[in-house]
Amino acid sequence: MYNFEYFTPTKVVFGRGTESKVGQLVAEQNCKKVLIHYGKGSVIRSGLLDRVKKSLDEYQVDYIELGGAVPNPRLSLVYEGIELCRKEGVDFVLAVGGGSAIDSGKAIGYGVANEGDVWDFYCKKRQAKGCLPIGVVLTLSATGSEMSNSSVITREEDWNKRGYNCDYGRPKFAIMNPELTMTLPDYQTACGCTDIMMHTMERYFTNGGNMEITDSIAEALLRTVLANAKILMKEPDNYDARAEVMWAGSLAHNGLTGCGNDGGDFASHALEHEIGGMFDVAHGAGLAAIWGSWARYVYQDCLPRFKRYALNVMGVKEEGTDEEIALKGIEAMEDFYREIRMPVTIRELGIEPTDDQLKEMAHKCAAACNNKKGSAKILKEEDMLAIYRMAL
């Protein structure tokens, strides 16, 4: 068991109609001017943006807005947001949307609160000394960005997709109304469930110790998302299933399921970020496409965890050797992905990378982590390439 720090400063306001409290929550922050930041328009079409503005108006909160955050949010919009906030004297960012709007909002917050190029933080050149306070109205259960210390941004110049983890960026509050996720296309719901599970699996498949309580929470969370993802494929308007998934999404990535371990593996995420950066695929789908190959590549180095996962999460019977049980668990997970219509290969993402592109992705992935990633098995560039080739 490792020592750990657990820091979750985000106030969660959860349930039906909670977006009407946004004015009050922002007013409590004592800010002068708010940037409402959102994506490509789902919040306009659903009427949510109007409801948010109405609530801000009720509390006489001054605001401006900037939409346009796309999946795999771009650095150019972050620069635009920073300039706008400086010009307008913005001192609070309210992200309304999914992980992309939130991450883009966090990046704007870092840019305004620090001198110099905000990309420096994402390419690990230096550390931020602060961030504008962030608030969230969540519309997609997936990334956990509403409580996490992460922000992931893509630089168009070289299609580098890089994450920055820093506690200054943890949102002050997150409004989570599961009903807001009912307008999602099924594909995004499935991508979200995949991402949620992966945030906990990344922490679960480790050789770096753990605590029984953490493992038990992780397994319960994974079983809950497995069951409710299947319900949502048939009943997208099922409130309880939406709520289970939404809360699981926050707990999966706010640090809770990593307490006591070595920080987790996160190789699947690193491998996906290169696919997302180069081919602009949905993050959750990219994870599903790579995971089975990663798991088969590493499971012998982390056999007790893979066996435990098979038995306690996937419901595999305890028959045969540990290896056989572990492999059945991996197969069962891939069957689950198929059931929720997620890809299990890179080609099933609808892309056809050449071998040179796979090499480029492996090279960039290795460069981003000093050629050492993982805990279940430590991967180097040649391992990353082997996994990409297996996953093709």
Chain residues that interact with ligand NZQ, rule: CB under 6 A: 39-43, 71-73, 97-101, 103, 139-140, 142-145, 148, 150-152, 180-181, 183-184, 188, 191-192, 195, 253, 269, 276, 283
Q: What angle do CA 246, 221, 39 make, to 5 degrees?
A: 25
d(CA 288, CA 342): 6
**Binding at 148: pick from Zn ion, ligand NZQ, none (beta carbon under 5-8 Å per type):** ligand NZQ
CB of 216 to ligand NZQ, least distance (A): 23
CA within 13 Å, CB half, 231: 16
Comparison of 38 and 309: residue with beta carbon closer to ligand NZQ: 38
**Binding at 10: pick from ligand NZQ, Zn ion, none (beta carbon under 5-8 Å per type):** none
Tokens at 128, concatenated:
């931020």
With H, G, I as helix, E, B as strand and everything else as coil, classify residue 12: strand
**Binding at 100: pick from Zn ion, ligand NZQ, none (beta carbon under 5-8 Å per type):** ligand NZQ
DSSP 74: B
For residues 391 and 289, the answer to whether their CB atoms sit within 8 Å is yes
**Binding at 99: pick from ligand NZQ, Zn ion, none (beta carbon under 5-8 Å per type):** ligand NZQ
For residues 143 and 253, the answer to whether their CB atoms sit within 8 Å is yes
d(CA 70, CA 351): 19
**Binding at 250: pick from ligand NZQ, Zn ion, none (beta carbon under 5-8 Å per type):** none
**Binding at 151: pick from ligand NZQ, Zn ion, none (beta carbon under 5-8 Å per type):** ligand NZQ
CB of 315 to ligand NZQ, least distance (A): 26
In 129-254, alpha helices (H): 186-204, 212-234, 239-253
CB of 30 to ligand NZQ, least distance (A): 26
**Binding at 180: pick from Zn ion, ligand NZQ, none (beta carbon under 5-8 Å per type):** ligand NZQ
DSSP 21: G
CB of 251 to ligand NZQ, least distance (A): 13
CB of 203 to Zn ion, least distance (A): 12
CB of 72 to Zn ion, least distance (A): 12
Closest C-alpha among 247, 290, 252, 278 to residue 368: 278
Comparison of 270 and 316: residue with beta carbon closer to ligand NZQ: 270
Cα 120 to Cα 75, 107, 110, 111, 188: the distances in Å are 12, 11, 11, 10, 31
Q: How far is CA 239 from the centre of its chain?
A: 22
- Mark residues 168-197: x for contact with Zn ion by CB under 5 A, - for none: ---------------------------x--
Q: Which helix (H) or strand (E) holds 65?
A: strand 63-66
Comparison of 61 and 102: residue with beta carbon closer to Zn ion: 102
d(CA 269, CA 252): 14
d(CA 140, CA 194): 13
How many residues form the binding site for Zn ion (CB under 5 A)? 1
**Binding at 97: pick from Zn ion, ligand NZQ, none (beta carbon under 5-8 Å per type):** ligand NZQ
Q: Nearest to Zn ion by Cβ — which residue? A: 195
Comparison of 101 and 310: residue with beta carbon closer to ligand NZQ: 101
For residues 343 and 288, the answer to whether their CB atoms sit within 8 Å is yes
CB of 103 to ligand NZQ, least distance (A): 5
CB of 1 to ligand NZQ, least distance (A): 25
Comparison of 98 and 329: residue with beta carbon closer to ligand NZQ: 98
d(CA 39, CA 66): 9
What does the binding site for Zn ion look like in residue numbers (CB under 5 A)? 195
